[in-house]
Chain A
């Protein structure tokens, strides 16, 4: 009685072996590292390797190793301090064509890595970093699309000699309002829009004026497509910006219909990350209206074709309403120092279309002033009717205005920036491209590197101490059987770590708490079995029969109890966010593996110790 067949032992040993193998990389941990990857046309080669090692040697920075991969060069260091120092050295030596990102590279030995074994993936709360939840301003995306339709309509109506009074946003509803001279003109306008703008629904609005009007509204499907496209474009732009920031293993993910999750592990300068990611900063080039007095405009008399702006110094300035060029035409931008006055500048390269427009416009306007407008969206909380709501603010400033000396072309410079930091950020933003629609941070969770370290240490301390307490208690209370349960508990821990590593599930601080909790609860199955065995013994059954009955009878109880806990964990997983999900994952994995260790493994051990022979007394 109480003997396990050989295949069961083989199965147990196999699972334990696999568990140990995949848990092993965690012992080696991770090295602070730099990851060099090419941006644009450059490539990583032996030359880069040579360049980097030379630069590091010159700066007197020691590194552990350097691995040249297919597309990246990974340099490992002994500690974070050298890693940070090295980052600035390497960035400087390689210049603009490479992204030098801070990273944690697994220190797994090669033979282990061959099995695909990797250490656990640490969450942001353990390794430090930023988590942003961003929301795309869909209203603005739609407004922008309307804007484009409006300007198309204006030029097409002019071409077709249809006389309209104005084409504006429909203030009393959605869509575009077109006012015509008379009904004849309206009918031909109606025909034109229906023919050339299949995306729009045109109708005659009900209004109390006699004026001939039309309202054009985007079709429902078109609105949906526009929103989808805006989200996709924003994600693409965010990716580029994150690459420019130099972050290894970033996460940029769509969430729902209008949100994006961005996670940047290891980022230390969160203020910069925030500014760059959320920045909707873009440039517009407009001619200065020299014919009117800005002071009149300040007093409320703004000329029809112009718009009032402020310079950085606060002086009012009038600019023409028509935009000469927007930031979208920019294909490259680099920050530098102006040769003339030594101030920071940004050199800009335009695409073909932009260059054509620029040269066209500047040719006819030599001697006039050209202004560069910096536009940025911000969000503020304001009180409205007793409730706090978030309101968008658009900041528009003229960063400089200079006399056009000659016809401008593909390349030119802008000056008038406050600092080199500003010129660098502006160049980065112009390079990465503008966002299709403004995007706002609606949730941020940032953990500094030192707190991450603390969290890991404290988390593992509590795992260790809780574990030892339970081990002692079980050994004292259940003697030999307690020791058996302890072996199972230790294995359970190894298996949980192995599964986490294998799945590359993110380990978070609540996740560690989940592991701690599973340690407490995993022994439950053994407690149930052992109490049952004791009961059977008290009832006068033989030791062997008691062991058999104990395992048999406790099984359905254990299954029921664990399945209900799994239901709770599952709900937690589907509703939880970030760290909470981590808790649900470790709790579920712990429950599942404890079913195996607490039932099969302990039974195997008990059978080895007591099985198949006569015993008078059980040490339980």
Chain B
């Protein structure tokens, strides 16, 4: 049987060694960065206080910093947030401060400088709550991966399941690594984005696997590598289209969604790019490497079925 005509005919599986090296380097770098400097955790996980203050006109950061340092907030971290009249103040959990009053005190110190200010946002997370959120976040990640492992194993086959999970772990680690290297802040919304990335990347992988399953049944004389190659090529235009539309909306979110949603959109954009790459170059090669054969996907022959037609 002739291989049916496809729009693309790239030797994607032929590049799997190259891709393995590339992914390997990225993974090592990501893990190294995570091990050495870790993530820059937001106050959701570290505990502490964050106050966003809006000024009626542009304001100098040193001025704000001085006002705070001269009062009780010696270790205040001050930065602009989106524009020069929007200031973000962080106070790490520190000694001798009454938690509940920190934000009100900051506001009264700053309004004492004679400028017109407005409270835009206050977040205070107690140390024990931060610890809990961290644990819950880790657990969520593990439960999501386990749920997916079980579903894919049920719908396809264990080797596919492992391939899909390998791709997901790959995506999560590299996204985390990028957050670690760039020192972007990692907070609850980024965690949510990461779980959405898991969902998205899996989406891509499932579509490919679905086609692989179909093609194993259709082209009986092709090798597994060839089957995967055909399937990847057949689904390639869909993979690209969906990534593009998703990236469009994410870029809209990044540009127009405001400062508060930036890290969320960033995590998703990185995740979608890596997720697209991994469904092409990670999930399938891992499944191949685990020794998938067409027998694994053949419908189980009912015992004695061939005798049914006998007269």
Contact = CB atoms under 8 A, between A and B. Distances in A.
Given A133-B129, A441-B99, A459-B257, A520 B250 contact: yes
B164 to A, nearest CB: 9
Interface string B267-278: 010000000000
A383 B95 CA distance: 6
B143 interface: yes
Interface string A270-294: 1100100010000000000000000
Interface residues of B, number: 82
Contacts of B104: 270-271, 274
A50 B189 CA distance: 49
Interface string A555-599: 011001111110111111011110110011001000000000000
Given A564-B148, A571-B140, A381 B207 contact: no
A267 to B, nearest CB: 11
B253 A516 contact: yes
A470 B249 contact: yes
B305 interface: no
Contacts of B143: 571, 575
Interface centre among A513, A521, A568, by most B CB within 10 Å?
A568
A118 B128 CA distance: 38
B127 A388 contact: yes
A510 B144 contact: no
A382 interface: yes
Interface stretch (B175-183, B234-242, B286-294): B234-242
Contact of B126 (A442, A513, A520, A584): A442
A381 B94 contact: yes
A140 interface: no
B199 A388 contact: no
A443 B195 contact: no
Contact of A528 (B126, B188, B238): B238
A441 B257 contact: no
Interface in B253-268: 253, 255-258, 260-261, 264-265, 268
Contacts of B234: 535
A333 interface: no
A42 interface: no
Contacts of B247: 520
Contact of B139 (A523, A539, A575): A575
Given A462-B253, A473-B245, A379 B100 contact: yes
B157 interface: no
Interface residues of A, number: 80
B248 A448 contact: no
A571 B257 contact: no
Contact of A509 (B98, B207, B260): B260
A184 interface: no
A461 interface: yes
B67 interface: no
Contacts of B229: none
Contacts of B7: 534, 538
A297 B126 CA distance: 38
B151 A564 contact: yes
Contact of A388 (B93, B98, B206, B249): B93
Contacts of B248: 466, 469-470, 473, 520
Interface in B203-248: 203, 206-207, 210-211, 214, 234-235, 237-238, 241-242, 244-248
A568 B253 CA distance: 21
B199 A569 contact: yes
B157 to A, nearest CB: 13
A462 B262 CA distance: 12
Nearest to A570: B147
A562 B154 CA distance: 15
Contacts of B93: 381, 388
16 contacts: A270-B104, A378-B98, A380-B98, A447-B120, A447-B121, A448-B120, A458-B256, A459-B261, A462-B256, A510-B261, A510-B264, A520-B242, A520-B246, A528-B238, A571-B147, A584-B192
Interface of B: 4-7, 52, 54, 93-101, 103-104, 107, 118-129, 133, 136-137, 139-140, 143-144, 147-148, 151-152, 155, 188-189, 191-192, 195-196, 198-200, 202-203, 206-207, 210-211, 214, 234-235, 237-238, 241-242, 244-250, 252-253, 255-258, 260-261, 264-265, 268
